[in-house]
Amino acid sequence: MKSYVRFLTFTLVLPILIFTVLLLVPDVTYSAITGVCSTCHTMHNSFQGQPMAKYSNGTSKPTPNPVLLITDCIGCHSGPVGDKSTYGAPIVYHTSNPGGTGPGKTLAGGDFYWVAQSGGDRKGHNVAGLANQDTLLGFTPPGWDPNATAGTKHVVAPSGWTQQLTCYGTYGCHGWSDGINYGLKGHHSNLSGALTSSDIGNASSVGASYRFLLGIWGYESSDWQWNATSATHNEYYGVNGNTNYSNKHTISYLCAECHGVFHSQTGGSSPWFRHPTDIVLPGTGEYANYNNGSGYSLASPVARPAIGSSSSSTVTPGDASTSNGAIVMCLSCHRAHGSEYDSILRWEYSNATQAGCKVCHTSK
């Protein structure tokens, strides 16, 4: 009888308890990785004598991939239409024209579609395997200055840029610089919701960083902004006056790991020589009327000085401390992956209306 109770406790009651606790933990839900292992992994890269591995375009690949994976980052994260690929992975490279960036067209980072087309160099990050070397910029990121972000554990290109940008690892944005661990190790430990406490340098924390960007904080919208509204979206972390990047958790810090002090607060006050980032949107003058008072703008979003447990439509110019605050960031004007516009901008810059700038510069 006793052993029967113990059996029940271990096989039924405990798992149900643990599961319930997991469900109750606010904003920390476990990875969306579900399904049989063989969807994504192949043990020997051989089935009935034929290779199981695939190149990103889906054709058969005779050599196996790291971590026994069936395909590479691009292979899983691309598809013709929609938000997710046949692997259930968020699509960052649509193989047919998504018709623009934004909800219902692309995910938050934009799309690699345009840069992957010939002549699209200025319309995205030229990631190896997706696009050739950027004919105008070459390998080295504009503004590259490893001293600007000295001490980062996400060591980016320690001895200069001798090769093309990659999705992850030493010359990439996601994961961290450790070839042995495939430079990523996030998928099976992926947390979602508000991520603010990741431990830089700890390999196991990639999954606890915003979108596998080591050490970066943020709130992850569960659909990667496919159905985003002013109230439902990612939240990015920003710090007012982070001039020397002493805070290493902001989204602008991620960009700075490759782009140095590009567009940072050099100079420190008006007149500006480069457009400032990681600066609070003033609560006075034209800025007080951000987005004509309609709250968070998906066209020209702001980062937050604090990451809340949900996303918010409220934007309070002048607020440099709460989750409704407003901080200018690189992504106020740029997409992370790619867009239909030059300089990976969120909107047309040469266009006379410059609607995106006017979300903040409301009287210009």
Instruction: Identify residues 232-271 at the interface with ligand HEC (CB under 6 A).
Output: 252, 254-259, 262-264, 270-271
* Number of CB atoms found within 10 A of residue 282's CB: 14
307 in contact with ligand HEC (CB under 6 A): no
> Which residue carries 């063989």 as its tokens?
38
List 76, 130, 306, 315, residue binding ligand HEC (CB under 6 A) = 76
Task: Select from 19-27, 48-56, 67-75, 227-235 the region that touches ligand HEC (CB under 6 A).
Answer: 67-75
316 in contact with ligand HEC (CB under 6 A): no
| Cβ distance to ligand HEC smaller for residue 5 or 15 | 15
> Which residue carries 């409301």 as its tokens?
362
288 in contact with ligand HEC (CB under 6 A): no
State how far the Cα of 166 lies from the Cα of 30, in Å rounded to an integer.
27
Size (the chain), residues:
364
Residues from 89 through 128 that contact ligand HEC (CB under 6 A): 89-90, 121-122, 125-126
With beta carbons less than 8 A apart as the criterion, state whether 282 and 288 touch: yes
The burial class, CB within 10 Å (0-12 / 13-18 / 19+), for 158 is exposed
Site string for ligand HEC, 323-342 (x = CB under 6 A): -----x-xxxxx-x------
Q: Round to the nearest angstrom and report the end-to-end CA distance of the chain.
A: 80
List 9, 11, 31, 117, residue binding ligand HEC (CB under 6 A) = 31
Cβ 312 to ligand HEC, closest distance in Å? 16
What is the sign of the dihedral through the CA atoms of 198, 202, 206 and 208?
Answer: negative
List 167, 216, 307, 320, residue binding ligand HEC (CB under 6 A) = 167
43 in contact with ligand HEC (CB under 6 A): no
> Which residue carries 């990741």 as its tokens?
198
State how far the Cα of 242 lies from the Cα of 100, in Å rounded to an integer.
32
Largest CA distance in the chain: 81
Task: Select from 2-10, 21-29, 43-51, 183-191 the region that touches ligand HEC (CB under 6 A).
Answer: 183-191
| Cβ distance to ligand HEC smaller for residue 6 or 318 | 318
**Residue 198 one-letter amino acid:** S
299 in contact with ligand HEC (CB under 6 A): no
Cβ 4 to ligand HEC, closest distance in Å? 30
